[in-house]
Amino acid sequence: MQRTQFSLAVLAAIAALTFAGCGEEKKLEPAAPPPPPPPMVVKLGHVGPLTGGIAHLGKDNENGARLAVEEANSKGIKLDGKNVRLELVAEDDQADPKVGTTVAQKLVDAKVAGVVGHLNSGVSIPASTIYNQDGVPMISGSSTNPQLTEQGFKTVFRVVGRDDQQGPAIASYLAGEIKPKTVAVIDDATAYGEGLANEVEKTLKAAGVKVLPREKGTDKTADFKAILTKVKGKKPDAVFYGGMDATGGPLLKQGRELGIKAVFAFGDGACTDKMKELAGDAAEGLLCSQAGLPVQAANKKFLDAYKAKFKIDPILYAPFTYDAANLMIEAMKKANSPDPAKYLPELAKISYAGASGKIEFDEKGDRKDAEMTIFTMKSGKIEPIAIIKSGKTIKFEDFLKAAEPPAAPAPAAAPAAKAGEPAKAGDAPKAAAEPAKAADAAKK
């Protein structure tokens, strides 16, 4: 009896729960959408000296490449239907060829899609062999020795001019404006410094200027007094040094301390504001060249973005490394692939409006019709004074005026309505549209 009563109680409880459940509508939660696939990571390498005497130039170059990568990521990139996130892999080559080749192999092993760098020709040239063997494109924003692109590698490019353009530019300016009778030439025994000095010497001799026997230091020389004492005895009207600012500054300072009154001239490696820091007041009036347009002539969008991100102004070649990174990104977009074998043909034939102007490459990978700039040190700042393009010298202020876009024509005023007559429909919108059309034309 007790068992029967217990069973009936259980059944009653089940029935009550069943009826209670029937009174409520069962709610089904919608299934969560699957998470989007992670973006495909595409690595771009950047290499330059981040330690040592010219680390400031290496960091400037890296900043340019990094800005390009971060801007591209913020806009979003899609290749072959996949979202892409670019990653900049920055390495320090210490401006040393041995370290440079080690780092180059490291980047190849990391499967980078391309490399921006190296800064120094003496490092870029041996490193380019490693990149070429694995089909990895490299674009230097600062290596000027002709040998870099004379090797015949289809993977090698540069967005600055060559020493056989830069050397004649500064030498011709010296011969034409300073008119020295005798010039002393010194180099730092690197591929860059010696190569540039060779081109300067060749051009000066062709112009009928006497060039003294070559003097040599190294890229680590700190005391040039023995060399400069020898030079002083021959009373040159000008001294040209092929090397970087880390050694060019002390050379200039020691030269003035010894009483050498000649004009001192340098190539792009010593064409920086740091020369004032290294040489002090002796830097005033120096002449130097750069294988490309000066930083001041880079487009405003780049200059503003660089200053906003890094809280400093670019030093020298950041606009060129910014362009180098963007050239690779643009070529990938055109090929719809980050595969070097696929985007390399697009890179070789590209026509691109960059921060440093229009960029196209010739069959060797050199920038077509690259400009050269002559600078002087004035009140502690390197200032451009002339642009040399297609063999013609143009004052810098005249170059800037010629580069200014034409002013947009003023919009035509809509005809005034007669008193008491309503304006015709469409008059106001038409007048408002004219500035927009002018702005569009200016952009194009």
Residue by residue, what is the 3-state secondary structure of 352-367? EEECCEEEEECCCCCE
Mean pLDDT across 306-313 = 96
- How many CB atoms sit inside 10 A of residue 129's CB? 13
β-strand partners of 353 = 358
pLDDT tens digit sequence for 197-244: 999 999 999 999 999 999 999 999 999 999 999 999 999 999 999 999
Check residue 412 and give its pLDDT. Answer: 53
Domains of the chain: 40-160+297-367 (3.40.50.2300), 164-290+392-401 (3.40.50.2300)
> What's the number of CA atoms in the CB half-sphere (13 Å) around residue 186?
30
Does residue 87 contact residue 43 with C-beta atoms inside 8 Å?
yes
- CA separation (Å) from 414 to 185, 379, 390? 67, 52, 46
- Position 393 scores a pLDDT of 87
Q: State both tokens at 152.
A: 């015949």
Q: Report pLDDT for 173.
A: 93
Spatial separation of the C-alpha atoms in residues 293 and 370, rounded to whole Å: 8
Local confidence band at 409 (pLDDT 50, 70, 90 cut-offs): low
| 14-28, 212-226, 277-291: least confident range | 14-28
- Peptide bond before 118: cis, by omega within 30 degrees of 0? yes
- Locate the DSSP E strands across 209-255: 210-211, 215-216, 238-242
The pLDDT value given to residue 34: 75
Partners of 387 in the β-ladder: 373, 394
Instruction: Report the mean per-residue pLDDT for the chain.
Output: 87
- At residue 429 the predicted structure's pLDDT band, cuts being 50, 70 and 90, is very low
Task: Please compute the mean of the pLDDT values over residues 105-122 and round it to a whole number.
Answer: 97
Element (H, E) at 64: helix 55-75
Question: Cβ–Cβ contacts within 10 Å for residue 105, how many?
Answer: 15
Distances (CA, A) of 241 to 145, 207, 222, 340, 351: 15, 19, 14, 39, 35
Q: Read off the pLDDT of residues 136-155 as tens digits, 9 standing for 90 and up.
A: 999 999 999 999 999 999 99
Are 57 and 63 spatial neighbours (Cβ–Cβ below 8 Å)?
no
Q: How far apart are CA 302 and CA 309, in angstroms?
A: 11
The pTM of the full predicted model, rounded to 2 decimals, is: 0.75
285 has a pLDDT exceeding 60: yes
DSSP 187-200: E-SSHHHHHHHHHH
Mapping DSSP to helix (H, G, I), strand (E, B) and coil, where does residue 230 land? Answer: helix
pLDDT at position 12 over 70 = no
Specify the residue for token string 């792009």: 268
pLDDT on residue 33 = 76
Ranges 24-28, 108-112, 245-249, 321-325: which has the least confidence: 24-28
pLDDT of 23? 45
pLDDT of residue 36: 73
pLDDT value of position 405: 57
Q: Rounded to the nearest 5 degrees, what angle is found at the Cα of 262, between the Cα atoms of 398 and 276?
A: 65
User: 61 in helix, strand or coil?
Assistant: helix
Asked if pLDDT for residue 282 goes beyond 50, the answer is yes
Question: What is the percent of the chain with per-residue pLDDT over 70, rounded to a whole number?
Answer: 84
Write out pLDDT tens, residues 46-97. Answer: 999 999 989 999 999 999 999 999 999 999 999 999 999 999 999 999 999 9
User: Residue 430 has which token pair?
Assistant: 């038409």
